[in-house]
Amino acid sequence: MSRRDELTFAGLPACVDMNNISAGIAIIGITHATPYERGVPTYTLNASHAIRKKSVRYPDESISWDFDLGGTLLGDGNVRVVDCGDIPGDPSDPEGNRSRAIDAIRCILRAGAVPIVIGGDDSVPIVVFRAFEEYGPINILQIDAHIDWRHEINGVTEGLSSTMRRASEMSWVDKIVQIGSRGVGSARVQELEAAQAYGAQIVTAHAIHKNGVGDILELIQQGSAWYVTLDCDGLDPSVMPAVDYPSPGGLSYIDVIELLHGLSRKARIVGFNLVEFRPDMDVKGLGATTAMRIIWNAIGLLVRSPFLGRE
C-alpha cells in the first residue's frame, strides 16, 4: 500500500500490513482499475488524497459533535477503523490493477472488516464486487446519474460504463437497486431493457425529488446485506461540481445522507465505495468536502450499526 505524506482519513490509525488487519472497518484507495485507453492515467488521479486532506481540515473534527450523526464520528469507540492507504496501480496494467484490488479487498473481508473504498473511476466497483464471491449473497444499491449496463465499449468489458452489467452476471449478487438516473449517458434502449429484464429497480432522480427516499427503503428487506456504490455524478453539481460529466437535477447531499441513515437502520451494510471524483474539476474544494462528508457519514453509521459484524 502507498500513502502520500502518511495522510489517513480523519487521522485514523494506519494499517500497513494487509495480512494483519485488526479492525471492524477498513478504508482503502483504489485509483486504477480498467481504463478504456490502456496507458492513459485516470482523470480521477489524486482523488483519494484530496478527500483525505479535507477529512483533516480541522484537528478536532473527529472528536467534535456531528449533527448528521448525533454524536462524534466513532461514537462510543467500540469499533476500530483503520486506513490501509492506496493500492499501487498502473494504467498500463489493467489486469494487474484488478488482481491487486481483488486481493486487497479479500484481505479486508477475511479479517471480518467492512471495506470503505475511495476511487478511482466507475470500473473500480466491478473488482470490489468480484472480491465478494465467497462472502455473498449481497445486494447492490447504486447512486449514479447513469445505469452502467453497457456490455462493452471498444472491446473493453470491464470499463466504467459496464459496472452494473458485470454485477448482474455475478451469482452472489441478488437484488440491484439503482438511484439517481437522469439525462443521457452511455445507455441505449437495449441497455435499459437488459436492466429491466434482470429485475433491476431503477429510481430516477426526478422520482426522488418528488417522493423522497422513503420508497427506496421499502425495497430493502430487514437485516439483508447491501453494498453501496456511489458515483459522484449521482449528486447534483451544485454540491458536487468535480465530476467528468455534470448533469443538473441530481441528488442533494441531504438525500444521500437520509438514504444512508435509513439503510443503516434497516440493513447490514457490507461495503461502500465512492468513485468518479475528479479533483481538477473541483470548485473551491466543495466537491472534496461533499465526498469526504459522505464517507464520514458512512463510517459513523457503520460504527453505530447493530448489524456490524453479523453474518
**Grid coordinates standing for 171?**
451469482
Strand 268-275 relative to strand 201-204, pairing: unpaired
Please list the rounded mean pLDDT of every run of 10 residues in the chain (311 residues). 70 95 97 96 96 94 96 96 97 97 98 97 98 97 97 96 98 98 92 97 97 93 96 98 96 98 96 98 98 98 84 45
DSSP assignment string, 245-279: S--SS-B-HHHHHHHHHHHHHHSEEEEEEEE---G
Q: Which domain holds residue 257?
A: 4-304
Q: Taken in order 189, 191, 193, 195, is the CA torsion positive or negative? A: negative
pLDDT at 59: 85
Residue 207 lies in a domain: yes
**84 within some domain:** yes
Note if the bond before 120 is cis, omega within 30 degrees: yes
CA dihedral 17, 22, 25, 29 (to 10 degrees): 0
- pLDDT for residue 309: 58
In a domain, 310, yes or no: no
Q: What is the CATH number for 126?
A: 3.40.800.10
Asked if the structure places residue 64 within a domain, the reply is yes
Assigned domain for 209 exists: yes
Please count the structural domains in the chain. 1
Question: Is residue 311 assigned to a domain?
Answer: no
Question: Residue 4: its pLDDT value, please?
Answer: 44
Task: Specify the DSSP class assigned to residue 176.
Answer: E
- Determine, yes or no, domain membership for 10: yes
